[in-house]
Amino acid sequence: MTERYDVVVIGAGPAGYTAAIRAAQLGFKTACVDDWRNSAGAAALGGTCLNAGCIPSKALLESSDLYALARDHGAQRGLKFAGLSLDLAAMMAHKDKVVSDVTLGIATLFKANGVTWITGRGRLLPKNRVEISGGEAGGIEAVHVILASGSTPVSLKSAPFDGQRIVDSQDALAFQEVPRRLGVIGAGIIGLELGSVWRRLGAEVLLLEAQEGFLPVADERIAREALKQFSAQGLDIRLGARVLESRVKNGAVAVRYQDQNGEREEIVDRLIVAVGRRPNTDGLFAAETGLLLDEWGFVHVDEHCRTNLPNVYAVGDVVRGPMLAHKGMEEGVMVAERLAGRATAVDYDLVPSVIYTDPEIAWVGKTEQALKHAGESCRTGVFPFAANGRAKAMGAASGFIKILADARTDRVRGVHLIGPHCSELVAAAALAMSFGASNEDIMLTMFAHPTLSEALHEAALAVAGQAIHFAQPKRTRS
């Protein structure tokens, strides 16, 4: 007999597992179908994020940061290491343990909340039937189906993956030795994070970026500062570089590319292709369902993640919007709660973005260029970490926080950060903005001393020309 559920979720990444847990909390009989297999061939929950994305990359970023800190700045801070050396196998084992802990954690949460975990590949059929293959093969039915199949790396004809020398981000999280020379196609978020990991561990890193501008998604002033600091760290970022061909030869990769200086070739030991990700819809649904995709291949949804089919929803990377775990999780919660009759919504204007490099880059809200483009005028306040006592004590006094406030209403429109622990600091900005804070609200809030968060306070004061710990040009009294 076909098992019948209230809710079936296809995909157990952050969007899918969150939707499943919240649906079960709300009393729905819920199953989650997922086909992820880890390197040992075992089924694992958590999708890209926990197995091959956010979590393993952050484990390597943290470990490589510690290593580089000890090597490059230990002595200056009074820490002498006799014969400091890298044990890459141990670093990878730590990362694998973190991944195993967090993925097992989701299995525990499924159990605790009564979510049925079905291993295998799910395919949506008409009338909300879901065919399962490749694991616990069979069929199930649901009142509501939530598609959360995530995304996969974009491949390039000019640099086809071979899993050894020319690799995607997943393989680049598991190199068994530090490449002497590493090439990365794409100086976007993955390129910068993974480029940083391997640079810190000793590789020469060359990033080939097709666009002329660096990090166009970030505020321009932040992007300029980031490019300066990354270049100083030895990341060789070449902009306007169009890769023509990559050939594996004698255990190395010859990459031929064209930029404004003409055609050039570089030899690297490994080449990471990190040029974006595409929605994972292959085999996800039968054509007879009539499920609509948008022009970019994402499952078409409205602002509440409803597809064109009754009782079928889609969340996370497989739908429009930034490909970020927290965006998918909020969508998962929204859909589950709307099934229970609640009016939950996601505020897509307030999705925080973070790049976990050193310095960290983070933002929430609009960039200055976007506001200008929209003809909206704003007042700007900038405060440098060089004037923040805690950042100085940490030996991390570079970068700044920039606040954009509406010139007429004083409403905070965007907060942009580059510097230490900005991934954490951006939460305060997101909280303020989600409460509709004015810049004055931040000015009137007391921040503990000495903390990095004081830089947020001072940036708000700077909007009004009142920063205390940084000399701004004098204003005349009116």
Q: Which of 354, 422, 432, 460 binds ligand NAD (CB under 6 A)?
A: 354
| Nearer CB in complex with ligand NAD: 255/467 | 255
List the beta bridge partners of residue 292: none
Are the C-beta atoms of residues 210 and 372 closer than 8 Å to each other? no
Measured from the CB atom, is 169 or 229 closer to ligand FAD?
169
Residue 202's Cβ-side half-sphere holds a number of Cα atoms within 13 Å equal to: 10
For ligand NAD (CB under 6 A), the number of binding residues is 24
Taking Cα atoms as reference points, which of 331, 28, 35, 369 lies closest to residue 222? 369
15: partner contacted, choices ligand FAD, ligand NAD, none (Cβ within 5-8 A by kind): ligand FAD
Q: List the catalytic residue out of 94, 373, 416, 449.
A: 449
In angstroms, what is the minimal distance from the CB of 168 to ligand NAD?
Answer: 9
Largest pairwise CA distance in the chain: 81
Cβ contacts of 394 within 8 Å, gap of 6 or more: 420
Distance, first Cα to last Cα, the chain: 81
Name the nearest CA neighbour of 196 among 184, 208, 212. 184
Distances (CA, A) of 278 to 22, 123, 150, 188, 331: 26, 18, 9, 15, 18
Among the listed residues 98, 324, 396, 452, the single contact to ligand NAD using CB under 6 A: 324
As a whole number of angstroms, the distance between CA 328 and CA 151 comes to: 12
From the list ligand NAD, ligand FAD, none, pick the one residue 150 interacts with, judged by a Cβ distance below 5 to 8 Å according to partner type.
Answer: ligand FAD
Q: CA 12, CA 107: separation in Å to the nearest integer? A: 10
Among ligand NAD, ligand FAD, none, partner that 415 touches (CB below 5 to 8 angstroms by kind): none
User: Quick one: 179 or 191, whose CB is closer to ligand NAD?
Assistant: 191
Please tell me the distance from the alpha carbon of residue 362 to that of residue 425, in angstroms, as a whole number.
Answer: 8
Q: Which of 7, 53, 146, 433 binds ligand FAD (CB under 6 A)?
A: 53
Our answer to whether residue 449 is catalytic in this structure is yes
Asked if 317 is part of the footprint of ligand FAD (rule: CB under 6 A), the reply reads yes
CB nearer to ligand NAD: give 359 or 381.
359
Q: How far apart are CA 431 and CA 433, in angstroms?
A: 5
Reference 197, options 274, 267, 265, 100; nearest CA is 274
Q: Give the one entry of ligand NAD, ligand FAD, none that residue 12 binds, where binding means its C-beta sits below a cut-off of 5 to 8 angstroms depending on kind.
A: ligand FAD
Partner from ligand NAD, ligand FAD, none binding residue 16, C-beta < 5-8 Å depending on class: ligand FAD
SS3 27: coil
Residues near ligand NAD (CB under 6 A):
156, 185-191, 193, 208-211, 243, 274-277, 322-324, 354-356
Residues taking part in catalysis: 449
Footprint of ligand FAD (CB under 6 A):
10-16, 33-36, 47-49, 53-54, 57, 121-122, 148-151, 169, 190, 280, 284, 316-317, 323-326, 328, 356
